Structure 1
């Protein structure tokens, strides 16, 4: 079995897109900072981090790139041995997440995110879905934030948020367009696997495939199939996404806002 189509890399054009992605993140950072000055501020409980996310490969690439950058910064500051320990510990947590028996493809699990260790270890480059939660979307019952008189939190919305989310979708689209369509870059995937595909060599990815449940290797193909709460609220409507899928020669795999059909990744 070959995993050659699962092994990914970052090139210079990707890095330019990562910079633009960070500018979009800045818009959410500003909003989050404003909200944290209100009664509805995040309490940093970590309860929302008990999840196993599926995100687009674009953000997996950005996370992997920043992990490697952190590796070299640690090497420069504290030496290669310390940097290797950091990288090995990071990879070990991601691999361990590939053996989560409780995980379901809607993200539910009894475990914390692979990047959570008494706080988010990738906070500066965490995915958009993490930034959006409680900032531009409602929160779930487990969130300990204060509520208003209606039992909800106040969160930000409006045209600036719509512009930011559509810019985010546009970057996913540009990332996908820059890649060969057969190389598994344009897909929504279990985040630990997506990041590992940039960090592990082919042989180790093959071993991981042999040892892990096929549920982790299921994906939704196409940036237009990244349907989570913040994209449903502020992103392109379903008609636009359906046309984008048609233009790309693919299908929209969600029948409605709650239902998605996944396919196994081609390796």
Structure 2
């Protein structure tokens, strides 16, 4: 039975990855800060699907968090067949007006830990000639977003980094995929401290994609060996392709109006 490591597994897309992978009879290593939520999910999946779960309560914004997780997994004698780098968060507001500490934590979580875990687990996958890595980017990674400058930049990094790894590993037996969702059913807007007026606007004008659809589409794309997938339907396809056709300054001004 294969084993998957999922970060940010306590809620949202991460928890849904855990559910769908468990349904495929994949053992799980579940990582997040909230141990109570992880233990509850782990118990549920073990009971319903008959799999083994391992819970690691870890603050991924801490230095060397990836190495700590890796050492714990090595101690258990586990091989990771699928790594899902899902943990991340955003922040809303003009960069100069937002807490710098929060921006640095965002880079640590959205970028540094993702690269660290990928660097720790990918070599063993290559040696075995099999394995897979899913990195969660966003449609925000296709263009700069004023008032979400750091978040969009981190997701652009994830997209470019992942696509480069996809090419590097095409002949190694390791599958690499960048998943780029639009707005989803999650606590993202609340955690990012969006103003109530903008939240209302988003809720009325942006269709939220269910986590179930995002994960199902991602796992299907992984099997077909795609480099990336944009989930959420036709509207999101338009959003990610607009930068190809509009002058950069015009595009940025239009995005600024939305946010």
TM over 0.5: no
Higher strand share: 2
Which has the higher relative contact order, 1 or 2, with Cα contacts under 8 A spaced 6 or more apart?
A: 1
Higher helix share: 2
TM-score by length of 1: 0.29
